[in-house]
Structure 1
């Protein structure tokens, strides 16, 4: 399975710019025969914007419909973070659109990070898994990926790849460098981790977007500048997969 990850600067509430970047990355990923492209957390309208509640998007709204058409044209699925408005509630959400333009999954972030997110968003309560290109996938968002019980729960459901939009900022450089590869290795799950680069308001992002295989090997890694990553996931080797879950002793 070929995976693509887009790392870029925040659209900063410019929806047209955000949609344009997403469409261009989709077209490029499609030309390289990627099965899915992953973009960062709350890409629409941008993670660190002051008026996110006023800019929340409906899952069936025109902006996401544009991306569904672009995914269909590219023949490539898209996982993208967005601020989801559903009635009175606002969610930090990630949508996966299939290569035929249909919605495969909509996930709401469980682990809201810090007082700002906790004040803005309603937390999600459910995992979401779905099938793509013969594999079982799941979505997590940013801080979610740092909690081993979530990864373990998804592994128990047969998930082989987690798509993870993120907005990881300084000083938390250990997350892309250490935490993400360790989570992949410890649970035998590949992770596509799409972060921002540059600055947005009072945040400076770490970059470090990556595609990490199920044995913890980093297959593609971005620095601190815009990048489109492409990598082929290797087959899982039973001899190399972690047996921690089976071996764990409760004391």
Structure 2
């Protein structure tokens, strides 16, 4: 599988700009042969925007339908983070539209980070897996991917790729540099970690979006400015894959 991710600055609640930027990234990713493109956490309307309850979108909203149509037009799967409204509840969600524009997964973040997220959102309670092409795929969002039990659960059910929208901010540079590659190596799967760059309100994002392979190798890494990353996932080598999950002793 060839994977792409977009590292950009926050669209700052300009939904048309957010969709247009996603469409431009899809155009480039498709031209380069990527099977899927990952956007950052809460790309719609932006992770650290004020008044998130008023800006949250239902899954069937026009902006998400627009992105589904773009995925179909480019025959490229798309994962976008968004603030989801479902009745009276808000979720920190990520929708994956397949290359035919159909909804493959709507994932709701399980591990809400810090008091702001915990006050705004309801936590998700499922770790679904699904298929893109020949790969078994899961979505985790930002803080989720730092929890080994969640990554183990996904890997034990056959996932080979995690698509991870994130809004990782300073000073937590260790997550992209060390935690993500270690999770990939320890559980034998690839992780595409799509972050913001620049500033948004009182947050400065680390950038450093990363595509890590199943043996812990860094396949692509961004700096601190906008970037489109594209990388081919290597064939998984059984001789190099971690056996931690099978070997684990529960005390």
Q: Provide the residue aligned with 1:160 in structure 2.
A: 160
SS of alignment partner, residue 80 of structure 1: strand
Show the 5 A alignment for 1:92-171: 92-171=92-171
Q: CA deviation at 1:250?
A: 2.7
Separation in 2, partners of 1:113, 1:249: 29
Separation in 1, partners of 2:59, 2:50: 21
- TM (norm. structure 1) is 0.99
Separation in 1, partners of 2:109, 2:83: 10
SS of alignment partner, residue 145 of structure 2: helix
Q: Does 1:56 find its partner at 2:63?
A: no
| Structure 2 unmatched ranges of 5 or more | none
Q: Provide the residue aligned with 1:177 in structure 2.
A: 177
Preserved contact between residue 3 and residue 37 of structure 2 (Cα < 8 Å) = yes
- TM (norm. structure 2) is 0.99
Separation in 2, partners of 1:245, 1:126: 20
RMSD of Structure 2 on Structure 1 (CA): 0.6
Show the 5 A alignment for 1:13-92: 13-92=13-92
Separation in 1, partners of 2:102, 2:249: 43
Tell me the number of residue pairs that the alignment of Structure 1 and Structure 2 aligns: 251
Separation in 2, partners of 1:50, 1:186: 37
Q: CA deviation at 1:15?
A: 0.5
Q: CA deviation at 1:108?
A: 0.1
Structure 1, 125-134 or 146-155: larger mean CA deviation: 125-134
SS of alignment partner, residue 235 of structure 1: coil
Q: CA deviation at 1:128?
A: 1.4
Preserved contact between residue 144 and residue 150 of structure 2 (Cα < 8 Å) = yes
Q: CA deviation at 1:210?
A: 1.0
| Structure 1 unmatched ranges of 5 or more | none
Q: Does 1:192 find its partner at 2:225?
A: no
Q: Provide the residue aligned with 1:236 in structure 2.
A: 236
Misfit runs of 4+, over 3 Å: none
